[in-house]
Each structure stands twice: as C-alpha cells, then as structure tokens.
C-alpha cells in the first residue's frame, strides 16, 4: 500500500515517529493508502529547511523565479492525466471535472503568478523637488499554507504560486483527507528546478501538525482556506505571534433569480452552481431565491433536471457527481437534511443515497437534494452544508430578495439573474458579499480580488492582492535636498 510521506528539503521523508493515517477512497469506502501522521517535530524540520533555503531563494531574481514557476506549470500539464485520476480517486470528484477544472487551474496558478511578477510595477511619488518615495516589496519569509479537501491541488497551488513568486519559502499543510496530489507535486517542483527546501509539504492532522504550523514562531504569515470554525483556532493560535493572516472561509451563497432573467440559461448554470463537485465548493449557491412570478415554472424545470443528474463512479465520464469526501461528511450532510425535514422542509428531489453497483455500495454517494418550504432562519438556510443540498424559496420584491440574500452571517459570493442592467448594478452593490456574478457563476479571472466578508473571510487573494499578502510593502523616502 502506498505511503504518502512528507516532502522536506526536496525529498520525500517518512514522519519521524513512523505513524500513518488511513487514506480512504470515498467512492468505495476502502482504505487505499496511508498518509503521514506528522507532528510538531516533523513540522520543525520543514520550517528549518524553509528557513535555510530562504537565504538563497530571496536572492534568486524574479526572471529566474518566473522561469521555474512556468516550468512547474508545464510539468503539471504533462502529468495532467495522472494528477486528475489521483485527485478523483482521492477526493471522490469526477475524473472529467479534475481533468477540466482542478488540474488546468493548478498549472494556470503557476503561469499566472510567473507572469505577474514579470509585469508588476510599483508607484513612486515625488514630494515636489525635495524628496521621492518608492515602494520596495520584501518577501515575508517562511509562510504557512493550509488548504482544504474540496479542490486539493487547485487551492494549494493558488497559495504556493504567489508565495514563491514573491520570493518566500513555504511549508504547506494540505488536508489529511486529500494529500495525494500534494504528495505528487513535490517531485514535479524539484524536476522543474525549484531549489530544495523552498517548498516543503507536511502531511497530517489539522489539530496536530496544522496547529503546530500556526503557532511556530519562525512562520510570520499563514494563508488558510477552510472552515469558519477552524479559522477561529488559527486566529487564536497565531495571536501571540501577531502573524499576518489571510482567511478564505465558508459560504452560504444566495442565487437571486428575477423573473426577467433568461430562465433556461439560469437553470443550466444553477444546476452547476448547486451540484458541481458534489456541492463541495465554497462558491456553490446553496440558497436559491426565486421571484414569485416564476417560482412554479422554475421549480418544475429545475427539479426535473436535478432528478436526471447521474451520480456514480467518479471515473465514469457520464457521472455528473461522484462521492462525498468522507463517511463523516456524508453523515453530516444527511443530518442537515433530516433536521430540515423536522423544521418543515419538503424534499422535492434527492435526500437519499443512490442505488449503485456492488463495487460502490460502501461509497459516500448522495443524490442531489432540493428542499423547499423552509424559513430563512432555519438551520439549512443558515449553516454551510457543503454538500449536494440546496434550498429554494420565493420573494416578491427587490427589497425582500435583498433582505433574504443578506440574512446570513456568511458573505462569500452571490449570483444575480436579471436582464435589467440597472438592477444588476444596484442590487449587486447592496449584497454583503465579496464576489457577485451577474447572469453567471464561478466565472473566475485570476486578476481580480477574491475573498469574503463577515464570517466568510478576512483579506483578499488574487492578482496584486496575493502579492500584497505575500510581501511586506516597505516605503523608502529619499530626501533630495
């Protein structure tokens, strides 16, 4: 059985105490490999390696850094089939999705930030004729990168690429549930010419080795993507060291559908925004709010299409959805459905595990689920479910739609469906979220600021915002008199 080990100072190394966690294939419910169960001593080795390499890496010029990042991108593309297959088996997502979304985005992350440092310029300001200010960007040093299980390589590389581009060394802690592609990335980066110790990857439990990374005194910044509750532990663990934090957290995103929208396009996109990646995307629209006038028509068409979605073998290209990431997560999602029923929710479709061939009967599959009839304050409309479950409700006026959309402690993203250009602007601007898509969902542009408000996050990543996080902007003022 494959042992997934740490990647420290350019080598795969076993955890010092030799302990491993089971790694389960979610589609089969079977242990198929082992993941290093690292502790604070393994972490200390990784941080020490990163610190040693930082002395050299910060002297490597931006053109050479860009060249190495571009080479990593090329090698990810060359290995895209094996990476996509590994991601699908490890996470439960369909292979076609990993091949068309996760892995291409991982290489795009490296290419984008390689390009950004080649193009980036800074402002200088003249103080009349007696002085000049300019911005000097310094890397932060050794940065801790902690990522979740839903888009494993996609989100880890969204952090590694800008951190390295900006001249930092890093210690990564991918999710213990999905460490396979991170394990594969180590040797890819080495083959691309990344010096040893610049990017270290440490595997294991969040509360153990993740917490050790957060409270390590030689790691002055942590970029974290994950749950809102975990973020609190990260804020608390890092507080004694006044660390720089970037927090990309959960969402309870509304899709607001007005009667004047292109309904067919809206329904096609809403199927994806609800159930792509089994609904395990922070940006998934889990609260569907539909204008009363078209509510019945929307429900008829949407529920019909949801009931036709195929759930099954992630490696079969006809499966729209694969398995949820773990048994614990499946049970958590089912718990939300059961409690929603008790709160008066009506299951319009789904809510059950699908009938699948013997090979997949122990897998963590769930039919896509649509629940109607819930009040906005019910648990299923307030808490992030992070699975293939959406609620549908109606509204009569723009004011009511806005009140419902903002009626949550989260504030990550929203989709607004309308053909009224004025409403598109005015309504979007009143939404308390970091990202609004109008007549679209998850149209991503790596140049724009990405992040949430309220309990959905602190800070922005993407484009120059990523460079801002992974550098300290130093002002230098030269007197000219």
List of residues contacting ligand NAD (CB under 6 A): 146-150, 155, 173-176, 206-207, 210-211, 214, 225-227, 230, 233-234, 248-251, 282, 384, 386, 412, 452, 457
Classify residue 450 by its DSSP letter.
B
Shorter beta-carbon distance to ligand NAD: residue 140 or 146: 146
Burial class (CB in 10 A: 0-12, 13-18, 19+), 130: exposed
Shortest distance in whole angstroms from residue 406 CB to ligand NAD: 18
Shorter beta-carbon distance to ligand NAD: residue 403 or 447: 447
Q: Which of 248, 280, 291, 461 is catalytic?
A: 248
Shorter beta-carbon distance to ligand NAD: residue 184 or 412: 412
Shorter beta-carbon distance to ligand NAD: residue 38 or 150: 150
Shorter beta-carbon distance to ligand NAD: residue 298 or 386: 386
- Tally of residues, the chain: 481
Pairing of strands 30-36, 20-25: antiparallel
Shortest distance in whole angstroms from residue 178 CB to ligand NAD: 8
3-state class (DSSP) for residue 94: coil
Dist CA 324 CA 26 (whole Å): 7
Q: Which of 247, 117, 222 is nearest to 171 (CA)?
A: 222
Residue 71 CB neighbour total at 10 angstroms: 18
Q: Phi and psi (nearest 5°) for 98?
A: -60, -40
**Residue 248 bears catalytic tag:** yes
Dist CA 215 CA 230 (whole Å): 14
Shortest distance in whole angstroms from residue 252 CB to ligand NAD: 9
Query: Under 8 Å CB-to-CB from 284, ≥6 apart: which residues?
Result: 251, 253, 273, 274, 275, 276, 277, 386
Shortest distance in whole angstroms from residue 201 CB to ligand NAD: 11
Give me the residue whose beta carbon is nearest to ligand NAD.
Answer: 206
Q: What share of the chain is helix, strand, coil (3-state, %, to 5)?
A: 40, 25, 35
Shorter beta-carbon distance to ligand NAD: residue 65 or 454: 454
Burial class (CB in 10 A: 0-12, 13-18, 19+), 126: exposed
Shorter beta-carbon distance to ligand NAD: residue 102 or 291: 102
Shortest distance in whole angstroms from residue 56 CB to ligand NAD: 28
Query: Do the Cβ atoms of 457 and 451 come closer than 8 Å?
Result: yes
3-state class (DSSP) for residue 52: helix
Q: Phi and psi (nearest 5°) for 283?
A: -90, -5
**Residue 172 bears catalytic tag:** no
* Bridge partners of residue 22, in order along the sequence: 34
Shortest distance in whole angstroms from residue 208 CB to ligand NAD: 8
Shortest distance in whole angstroms from residue 98 CB to ligand NAD: 15
Q: Which of 261, 282, 284, 378 is catalytic?
A: 282
Query: Do the Cβ atoms of 221 and 244 come closer than 8 Å?
Result: yes
Active site residues: 248, 282
């Amino acid at each position: 059985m494959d042992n997934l080990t740490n990647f420290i100072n350019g080598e795969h190394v076993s955890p010092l105490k030799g302990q491993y966690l089971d790694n389960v294939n979610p589609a089969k419910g079977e242990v198929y490999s082992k993941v290093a169960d690292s502790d604070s001593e393994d972490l200390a080795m990784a941080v020490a390696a990163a610190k040693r390499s930082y002395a050299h890496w910060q002297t490597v010029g931006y053109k050479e850094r860009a060249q190495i990042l571009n080479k990593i991108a090329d090698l990810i593309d060359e290995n895209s089939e094996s990476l996509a297959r590994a991601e699908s088996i490890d996470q439960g997502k369909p292979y076609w999705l990993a091949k068309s979304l996760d892995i291409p985005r991982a290489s795009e992350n490296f290419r984008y930030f390689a390009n950004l440092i080649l193009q980036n310029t800074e402002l200088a300001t003249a103080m009349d004729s007696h002085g000049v200010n300019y911005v000097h960007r310094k890397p932060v040093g050794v940065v801790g990168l902690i990522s979740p299980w839903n888009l494993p390589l996609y989100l880890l590389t969204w952090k590694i690429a800008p951190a390295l581009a900006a001249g930092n060394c890093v210690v990564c802690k991918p999710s213990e549930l999905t460490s396979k592609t991170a394990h594969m990335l180590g040797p890819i980066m080495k083959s691309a010419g990344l010096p040893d110790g610049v990017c270290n990857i440490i595997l294991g439990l969040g509360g153990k080795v993740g917490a050790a990374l957060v409270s390590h005194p030689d790691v002055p910044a942590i970029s974290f993507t994950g749950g809102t509750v975990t973020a609190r532990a990260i804020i608390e663990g890092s507080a004694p060291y006044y660390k720089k934090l970037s927090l990309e957290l959960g969402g309870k995103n509304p899709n607001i559908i007005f009667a004047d929208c292109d309904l067919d396009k809206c329904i096609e996109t809403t199927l994806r925004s609800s159930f792509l990646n089994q609904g395990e995307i922070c940006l998934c629209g889990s609260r569907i709010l539909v204008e009363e006038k078209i509510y019945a028509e929307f429900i008829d068409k949407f529920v019909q299409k949801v009931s036709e979605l195929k759930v099954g073998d992630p490696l079969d290209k006809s499966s729209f959805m694969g398995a949820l990431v773990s048994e614990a997560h499946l049970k958590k999602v089912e718990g939300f459905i059961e409690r929603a029923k008790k709160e008066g929710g009506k299951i319009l479709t789904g809510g059950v595990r699908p009938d699948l061939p013997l090979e997949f009967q122990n897998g963590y599959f769930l039919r896509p689920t649509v629940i109607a009839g819930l009040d906005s304050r019910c648990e299923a409309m307030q808490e992030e479910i992070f699975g293939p479950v959406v609620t549908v409700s109606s509204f009569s006026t723009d004011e009511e739609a806005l009140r419902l959309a903002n009626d949550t402690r989260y504030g990550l993203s929203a989709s607004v469906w309308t053909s009224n250009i004025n409403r598109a602007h005015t309504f979007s601007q009143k939404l308390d979220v970091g990202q609004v898509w109008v007549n679209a969902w998850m149209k991503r542009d790596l140049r724009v600021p990405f992040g949430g408000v309220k309990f959905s996050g602190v800070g922005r990543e993407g484009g120059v915002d990523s460079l801002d996080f992974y550098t300290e902007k130093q002002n230098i003022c030269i007197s000219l008199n």
